[in-house]
Structure 1
């Protein structure tokens, strides 16, 4: 999700930028300490998510959002609780009270990611069910960033979340319940969704989510397969 920060406090800008870099799903395309300058950028640059302070000079965050012709998802950030109602009146995804913790930030990002997924057509509505922490968890295949093998269990890394789903299963076992086409093993420790691969260089796969994973010699045929998919 392409995102922008607008906040007149340098410390807040710095903290939000640091948090954003911790989430591969987020891509920071602009940050502004001036609301007017930020509004000018938004007029000609479509984005998916806006982190914006409410109490700013010249133009408040509420006024800026209300005037946007094309409105992205909004997460308001402020030191004042009294603006919460106005924020939700503008259909904000969330309202973060300063000082913002990484845990609270993550919850807001997860809400935005869910809304983002709802707005776009899924690659597939297929899903799998795995057991994790004594629960059965349904996972949409289009939500999988990659799968990591860890000896007797695997971690299913999901788009928009820093916390993978961990389940007692081998990579061979998960391949047996995944669709025959669409997922590829690239290493003894990794499986990737073919549609999540952005580029391959020097036996290293870069995913759309920003992760970089190695391709081992035993699975070099994946590189040729992926290249052929791009030209077909």
Structure 2
């Protein structure tokens, strides 16, 4: 099992000590350093390879959000905070998760599990291995989406809605439709309209320039009609 090299940064000594205790309980994590000073922590991160960063949002010198924004490349990030209202700026940083203080051990464990899964996902992507899932940023968290559950994807200008089989509420994420299609297996998904990508295996019928799925009817764009006809041969 690959250990995730991690760093924890928090200006509150008690919160940092608790984080250190929690990290020690998980064999998948290897704690490299802890910092009460965000600036020192940032310098360490710029000079060392780290897989996962636990960082408090509200710190006196620089915020956790500004710290993460300064990193290039960035490790996986889990923010910790005492406030329920998360800063919107964290959205662009694509944090894996947010942990609300006082942090519950079980909730911490779920965040660690998410980090392990996302790390493996990135490894598979780098090796061009078949992807059974993809990760998107929604509701201030990285969310795992099983490819097999996707029925269709709908473009909403800069956003997309990912519609899942058996789910009434789609997943909304900031991503161009073209980029979403690039992340999916080419033999399982097809763009059929300027605003729609459908899962080929979820198609019930194709008639009158419409594709019938279990939960929706999708129009076929004029420029995509020829490629859609190939599905019926």
- Scaled by the length of structure 2, the TM-score of the pair is 0.51
What displacement does 1:124 show? Answer: 11
- The match for 1:40 is 43
- The match for 2:99 is 96
For 2:43 and 2:21, the matched residues in 1 are separated by: 24
In the alignment, does 2:69 pair up with 1:66?
yes
Instruction: Decide whether aligned partners of structure 1 residues 25 and 124 sit closer, same or farther in structure 2, where only a CA change above 3 A counts.
Output: farther
Q: Deviations over 1:185-215 (max 9, x none)?
A: xxxxxxxxxxxxxxxxxxxxxxxxxxxxxxx
Q: Deviations over 1:39-76 (max 9, x none)?
A: 01001101000000000011110000011111000000
Q: Deviations over 1:117-158 (max 9, x none)?
A: 111149999xxxxxxxxxxxxxxxxxxxxxxxxxxxxxxxxx
- The match for 2:9 is 6
Q: Is the 8 A contact 1:96 1:104 kept in 2?
A: yes
What displacement does 1:37 show? Answer: 0.3
What displacement does 1:90 show? Answer: 1.1
- The match for 1:195 is none
* RMSD, aligned CA: 1.9
In the alignment, does 2:123 pair up with 1:120?
yes
- The match for 1:205 is none
Matches within 5 A, 1:23-38: 23-38=26-41
3-state DSSP of counterpart to 1:120? helix
3-state DSSP of counterpart to 2:89? helix
- The match for 1:134 is none
Q: Deviations over 1:144-186 (max 9, x none)?
A: xxxxxxxxxxxxxxxxxxxxxxxxxxxxxxxxxxxxxxxxxxx
Say how many residue pairs are matched: 125
What displacement does 1:84 show? Answer: 4.8
Which one of 54, 57, 65 corresponds to residue 54 of structure 1? 57
For 1:87 and 1:102, the matched residues in 2 are separated by: 23
3-state DSSP of counterpart to 1:5? strand
The gaps in structure 2 that reach 5 residues or longer are 132-233
Higher normalized contact order (CA 8 Å, seq sep 6+, divided by chain length): 1
- The match for 1:83 is 86
Matches within 5 A, 1:115-154: 115-121=118-124
What displacement does 1:96 show? Answer: 0.5
- Scaled by the length of structure 1, the TM-score of the pair is 0.51
For 1:90 and 1:98, the matched residues in 2 are separated by: 20
Which one of 107, 110, 121 corresponds to residue 107 of structure 1? 110
